[in-house]
């Protein structure tokens, strides 16, 4: 039976399935052999190429890294408790304590994936929050100048 995974790299998410060594993402297949090494390391072989990565099961899923790329995976039925910051794709939350400096949208706005919704400021840097996909803004729960926390829902989205 195929294992279904949701893989997150930063804010990007991918749905993948794995069955008998064949990985399928968006219809593209790849065949791999994975072996456990010592000390949390794993080797991943595809054809002639072998690379060594590391993996660790954590509360919010399985973290993996390979050749400098890090991802987090939730395996269907594995009972991983995702961290709040990624718990609900329809509720956008800040990645950290931050100040809301600009809000570009109001409830009802139709936005395309990547459209700027609002801008936060933290660590003296501006952090644009963009639409994760095409959709409609249901509600905006913050105002400019407000200090928001990781648990705060900024925008409801559908």
- Look at the block and give the residue holding tokens 């000390």: 39
Q: Does 91 bind another protein (CB under 8 A)?
A: no
Contacts of 68 (CB under 8 A, 6+ apart): none
Position among 1, 58, 134, 136 found at the interface with another protein (CB under 8 A): 58
Shortest Cβ distance from residue 71 to another protein (Å)? Answer: 5
Task: Select the span of 16-24, 103-111, 140-148 touching another protein (CB under 8 A).
Answer: 16-24
105-124 residues near another protein, rule: CB under 8 A: 122-123
Nearer Cβ to another protein, position 124 or 143?
124
Find all residues with CB under 8 Å of 127, minimum gap 6, and list them: 94, 95, 98, 119, 120, 121
Provide, rounded to whole angstroms, the least separation between the CB of residue 110 and another protein: 21
Nearer CB in complex with another protein: 58/108: 58
> Helix or strand or coil: residue 122?
strand
Residue 38 Cβ vs another protein, minimum distance, rounded to whole Å? 3
* Distance (Å) of CA 37 to CA 9, 34, 41, 55: 24, 10, 5, 11
Cα–Cα distance list, 4 to 75, 121, 145 (Å): 6, 36, 41
Q: Which of 63, 104, 109, 152 forms a contact with another protein (CB under 8 A)?
A: 63
* Range 60-94 burial, b when 16+ CB lie within 10 A, else e: bbbebeeeeeebbbbbeeeebeeeeebeeeebbbb
Which residues bind to another protein, rule: CB under 8 A?
3, 5, 7, 9-12, 14, 16, 18, 20-21, 23, 25, 28, 30, 32-44, 46, 49-59, 62-71, 73, 75, 78, 83, 95-98, 122-123, 125, 127-128, 130, 150
């Amino acid at each position: 039976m195929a294992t279904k995974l949701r893989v997150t790299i930063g804010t990007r998410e991918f749905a993948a399935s794995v069955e008998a060594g064949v990985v399928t993402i968006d219809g593209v297949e790849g065949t791999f052999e994975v072996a456990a090494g010592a000390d949390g390391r794993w080797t991943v072989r595809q054809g002639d190429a072998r690379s060594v990565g590391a993996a660790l099961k954590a509360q919010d899923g399985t973290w993996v890294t390979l050749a400098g790329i890090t991802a987090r995976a939730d395996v269907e039925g594995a009972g991983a408790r995702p961290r709040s910051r990624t718990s609900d794709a329809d509720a956008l939350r800040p990645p950290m304590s931050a100040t809301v400096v600009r809000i570009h949208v109001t409830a009802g706005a139709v936005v395309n994936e990547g459209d700027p919704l609002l801008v936060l400021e933290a660590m003296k840097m501006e952090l644009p929050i963009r639409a994760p996909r095409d959709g409609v803004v249901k509600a905006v729960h913050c105002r400019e100048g407000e200090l928001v926390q990781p648990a705060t829902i900024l925008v409801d989205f559908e």
